Amino acid sequence: MNKGKQPMSQQELNPSADDPHRHTRRTILQAAALAGLAVATGPLTLAATTQPAAPGKIKLGIIGSGRVGSALGTTWVKAGHEVMFSSQHLENDKELAAKLGKNAHAGTPREAAAFGTVLLIAVPYTALAAVGKDLGEMIRGKIVIDACNPIVARDGEMATAARERGVGLVSIEALPGARIVRAFNAIQAAKMGDATANTQTIGMPMAGDDAAAISVVSDLVREVGYEPVLVGTLAGLGKYLMPGTPLAGEHSPAEIRTIAAGLK
């Protein structure tokens, strides 16, 4: 996969002197470049952090081990990470962990949250606020991959409200204090289990506000078989990371950058 640095625009390289976010923007773009991220063009105002990305293998807690959670967790176990699966069906999680071997574990959502240095939350969007409330301080300060989508046919009126307001903003409120990166939202779950078999480079659009968290999640995205493409902040283009938007479906990294450049 192509991991080369993407050229920065003149605005990104030379922000105006009266721009209060110029240092933050430069920090996030430099961090993205070091992580080998393909960055969508356009203004970025992400919150930089001094916490370094965790090197080597990490512990992952999966909150919601349905089709998305089980597919991604299985791939990460095979990549050498330790993964704890959790859901409302502990017996199913135990069976999955037993099949995957010593690096796979099963537990309750609270146990998975305590276990993981990085968490993947993949639950129906109606359950996201309840998950955030239940886990509380356990997720504060942790990297959380938000793979949840508001689906109107399943989640009803709250999904409509979340889509209209901006799913990234709603996720921030549901998971206070978490270092959220939205990813794995725009591609069907059925495609994730065999993504490493792709003969063409498929991009994975992502959104986040934390440079170090984005870097860690980018490595995990590559291990699943996709090339990460940072499209912007959670409150910005992060609202398009869900089914039914121009960023949904399989696109090359270049196509994602082109699509993102035309969105507001």
The answer to whether 207 touches 171, Cβ cutoff 8 Å, is: no
Evaluate if residue 89 carries a pLDDT over 60: yes
Q: The domain 59-261: what is its CATH number?
A: 3.40.50.720
3-state secondary structure 167-220: HHHHHHHHCCCCEEEECCCCCCHHHHCCHHHCCCCCEEEEEECEHHHHHHHHHH
Task: Tell me the mean pLDDT in the region 209-229.
Answer: 95
Q: Which residues of 82-98 are buried (b: 16+ CB within 10 A; e: fewer)?
A: bbbbbbeebeebeebbe
Report how far residue 154's alpha carbon sits from residue 61's, in angstroms, rounded to the nearest whole number.
25
For 35-83, how does the pLDDT look when each residue is reduced to its tens digit (9 = 90+)?
Answer: 456 555 444 433 333 343 345 789 999 999 999 999 999 999 999 999 9
Secondary structure class of 230 (helix, strand, coil)? strand
- Torsion angle, alpha carbons of 183, 185, 186, 190, to 10: 110
For 4-30, how does the pLDDT look when each residue is reduced to its tens digit (9 = 90+)?
Answer: 444 444 333 333 334 433 443 444 444
Q: Which residue has the higher pLDDT, 141 or 31?
A: 141
213 contact partners, CB below 8 Å, separation of at least 6: 49, 143, 179, 180, 181
DSSP 10: H
Per domain, the residue ranges of the chain are: 59-261
Q: How many CA atoms lie within 13 A of 4 on its CB side?
A: 5
* pTM of structure: 0.80
Residue 155 pLDDT level (bands cut at 50, 70, 90) = confident
For 104-123, how does the pLDDT look when each residue is reduced to its tens digit (9 = 90+)?
Answer: 999 999 999 999 999 999 99
